[in-house]
Amino acid sequence: MTRRRRGRRAGMLCAAAISTAALAGCGASDSGSGTTTVTVFAAASLKQVFTDLGAQFEAAHPDTKVALSFAGSSDLAAQLNQGAPADVFASADTANMDKVVEDGRISEQPQPFATNVLTIVTPPGNPKNIATLADLRQPGVRAVVCAPQVPCGAATKKVTAAAQVSLSPVSEESAVTDVLAKVTSGEADAGLVYVTDAAGAGSRVTAVAFPESASAVNTYPIAAVADSKHADLAHGFEELVTGPQGRAALQKAGFGAP
């Protein structure tokens, strides 16, 4: 082998070694950077309050990062049952939590930590003069709701049944935050969301309460995932949510007590 070819081969082997080391470092779970990551799957309606609680948890646990994944509870339950790695699951209803328990991804007793009810939201000033649930059926009113498999969609089904109102929404969304986005962007004249979402939107929407909302109170449970690699931290986050600090943050955001 010539000196030039020997030099090129040595360079290639060196580059390969460096590349392999880099990949090994990227693939090393937590230990490479000295930071432990706790992955939390949480219902979309919990986004703001869990973001705040995640920051509190990180401050109390140096070298720990809370990775938050928000979506509709039915989507998160499906991901968990398909093997998605996570440490904690917080659902917007008991039905989707039960699915994960039944599949074996959660083996402990889930803890209820909050409740929520629906309200109507409209663009600021309520230009369509929506006053009741039945007003969502008026000609020219573009109403948006959650899909039936999502907790806010199941709640919508209950409240419309209680009000004896049949809606014809222009769309059914996979998360309550998507319903809110349709209203705040002007794509819808009204939507059914949780009172906490309406409160979080502030002046971007007008909230219209309706009495039938009391017929569908959603209870939120939380639990550590059975195969979590960081069980102590997972239970620590669960305790933060269910404890005094979590209760105060949830109450401030508009959630009811469990």
Q: Do the domain assignments include residue 127? A: yes
Range(s) of the domain holding residue 152: 118-215
Q: What CATH number has the domain bearing residue 180?
A: 3.40.190.10
Are residues 171 and 158 located together in one domain of the fold?
Answer: yes
Are residues 122 and 110 located together in one domain of the fold?
Answer: no
pTM of the model: 0.84
**pLDDT digits over 101-151, tens only?**
999 999 999 999 999 999 999 999 999 999 999 999 999 999 999 999 999
- pLDDT reading at 222 higher than 90: yes
Separation CA 63–CA 56 (nearest Å): 13
Are residues 105 and 125 located together in one domain of the fold?
Answer: no
Are residues 154 and 210 located together in one domain of the fold?
Answer: yes
Select from 175, 169, 163 the least CA-distant residue to 216: 163
Q: How far is CA 56 from CA 51, 76, 231, 241, in A?
A: 9, 24, 18, 11
Q: How far apart are the first and last CA of the chain?
A: 76
Are residues 228 and 181 located together in one domain of the fold?
Answer: no
Separation CA 148–CA 245 (nearest Å): 33
Mean pLDDT of the chain: 89
Q: Residues at the annotated binding site?
A: 45, 73, 176, 194
Q: Do the domain assignments include residue 200? A: yes
Q: Residues at the annotated binding site for molybdate?
A: 45, 73, 176, 194
Are residues 193 and 227 located together in one domain of the fold?
Answer: no
Q: Do the domain assignments include residue 70? A: yes
Confidence (pLDDT) at 32: 54
What are the backbone angles phi and psi of residue 71, rounded to the nearest 5°?
A: -170, 180
